[in-house]
Chain A
């Protein structure tokens, strides 16, 4: 099959297994753990201290240990083989099916008309071998989506394209032969041989071509790097380090020695800390690397990632709420970050919910016009732009009254809420400026709540309940009557919005 010039990938209509190497691709962490174990054994005793448990292992003869390793590895391989045999999927005209599990069988069926997003994810190990994971997100509760790991990249893309065109209402032929048309041979079933032939695979041909895309914006790497370095997290790490050094200088050797001995006694704790902090920066950088948004007839396409790449397709009108934020250090560069709630994304939200990792006001307006076309106001001097940059009661916002200062000394001056024709905008944040936009037609339910202190000050908090995600639309510390009035009005607007937008 590798000799044919242009093999065509297509989605299976019969039960098909994932790629046979799948169960073992995830074993990287296990190997890493074992390596770490041996490292701790090799590390000098002052790092970890004497440990009796490790010594016990030395009493066994080498052959027994080697035999144990062989048995364990064999069991892992056998278990992997069994789980691969029981991990199958197929698509039908109006649903996708997935069944897996050895002891506890799991049979899942996702209706194509409920699909919110389809992502092709390639973690670095899978990417090396030309494999990919396909995540299908469906509205309807946690665990209702389907994740197939791993498929050949071509299989994953073919499946994605067919799912999206079926979800859009297209009728596709039933058999693979009809799909791939005359002449062009279809690709054979996945096998271990693909591991060598698929190395560094480019975009493969699929029976149903991907809908044409038009790139809208790409985040430059320089700006991304700058934005990560200028984040609040960097500032706090630097501030902590400076504070330690200053303390050591002022108080001399006493504090210095205390710090050094602390670092010395818990080297592994320090390593864990560095890994955690570094992990944050890495995720921001990797997630935003070459971040490109594109439009297609299937919906919004987002491509990003340096080592782990992710290609998301969010079907039209699935974005429930967006948050535009600007950390203090980004202000003089005029940078903003947009995160969003997409119904159906439940897992891994840090990685899937970014709409724009860092962008200018102009790009913010463009990005918002992609996901909330109703709210669009592309004019950089327009109401949306001013809503993002303004504060307090500017631009017709209902602000927090001055009474809120007692319990909200920092943010009250910037808090405000404005119900526009199509969306509710909530402004907050003093150092990190934030504005949340929720379309009326996407409001799930509404609430007003009030604690005892708020009650004394005549304040109340309005909450708009959105689907799970990083955006939590909360208008805190409004005047009580204003909040209750807004509750009634929003309920009415949401009702009108539901009437006009179906689906």
Chain B
């Protein structure tokens, strides 16, 4: 997993992100499994195979979620922010502060309940895929302000 390790101070996504993502995942899977259960009770035991399939898929996706969240990290350097993400399909993105057009902090109800937030960085390019997930809500505001003020100090035109 250490395929890109510049001398930077990586901040890893908060592990509580695994919980919030899995809650969302299992709510969806739970509905699916309930449907299979009803079918199994109504139409015969063949439908239990579907139920088991969904359960196995759920465990697999939970594992994937765990691996993905533990691979997600970001580091603030002097002139840019680096974000790395993913394991099977992995990526590193370097976003210069001077190129940031605006910074967006979002937090859904589930994330708020766990004290988490997401930060999305926008440049003039739609290709810039730089979002930080699983930022502690307390840190999110200060991180946003820090990024924004650095961006203003280094702002370059297009």
* A-to-B contact residues, CB < 8 Å: 116, 139-141, 318, 320, 343, 442-452, 455, 463, 465-468, 472, 480, 484, 487-488, 491, 494-495, 498, 501-503
Contact = CB atoms under 8 A, between A and B. Distances in A.
Contacts, number: 92
Nearest to B83: A447
B92 interface: yes
B158 interface: yes
B94 A487 contact: yes
Q: Chain A's interface: helix, strand, loop or mixed, by majority?
A: mixed
Contacts of B91: 447-450
Given A320-B158, A463-B127, A447 B94 contact: yes
A467 B158 contact: yes
Given A442-B158, A467-B158, A495-B98, 17 more contacts: A116-B158, A320-B158, A443-B96, A445-B123, A445-B130, A447-B93, A447-B94, A448-B4, A449-B89, A450-B89, A450-B91, A455-B90, A465-B128, A480-B3, A487-B94, A495-B80, A498-B156
A465 B125 contact: yes
Interface in B94-143: 94-96, 98-99, 101, 123-130
Nearest to B100: A445
7 contacts: A444-B125, A444-B127, A447-B93, A447-B94, A466-B125, A495-B96, A498-B156
B127 A494 contact: no
B94 A491 contact: yes
B157 interface: yes
A221 B63 CA distance: 61
Contacts of A465: 123, 125, 127-128
B88 A452 contact: yes
Contacts of B93: 445-447
Contacts of B124: 139, 343, 444, 467
B6 interface: yes
What interface size band does chain B fall in?
20 to 34
Contacts of B99: 443-445, 498
Contacts of B129: 447
Given A139-B158, A465-B128, A498-B156, A450 B123 contact: no
Given A445-B94, A467-B158, A472 B3 contact: no
B145 interface: no
B157 to A, nearest CB: 4
A320 B99 CA distance: 13
**Nearest 7 interchain pairs by C-beta:** A449-B91, A465-B127, A465-B125, A503-B157, A444-B125, A498-B156, A447-B93
A444 B157 contact: no
B32 to A, nearest CB: 27
B152 interface: no
Interface of B: 3-4, 6, 79-80, 88-96, 98-99, 101, 123-130, 154, 156-158
B96 A343 contact: no
Nearest to A441: B156
A447 B128 CA distance: 8
A503 B157 CA distance: 4
Nearest to A320: B158
A402 B93 CA distance: 26
Contacts of A139: 124, 158
Contact of B92 (A448, A451, A502): A448
A25 to B, nearest CB: 32
A491 B154 CA distance: 14
B3 to A, nearest CB: 7
Given A448-B4, A465-B125, A502 B157 contact: yes
Contacts of B125: 444-445, 465-468
A498 B127 contact: no
Contacts of A467: 124-125, 158
Contacts of A452: 88-89
A485 to B, nearest CB: 11
A495 B128 CA distance: 17
A104 to B, nearest CB: 24
B128 A491 contact: no
Nearest to B86: A449
B128 A444 contact: yes
A30 B93 CA distance: 47
Given A465-B128, A491-B96, A498-B98, A449 B90 contact: yes
A493 B3 CA distance: 22
Contacts of A503: 157
Instruction: Among B79, B80, B88, B156, find the residue whose CB has the most chain A CB atoms closer than 10 A.
Output: B156
Nearest to A116: B158
A502 B156 contact: yes
A117 B90 CA distance: 37
Nearest to B156: A498
B14 to A, nearest CB: 23
Instruction: Among B79, B80, B127, B129, find the residue whose CB has the most chain A CB atoms closer than 10 A.
Output: B127
Contacts of B94: 445-447, 487, 491
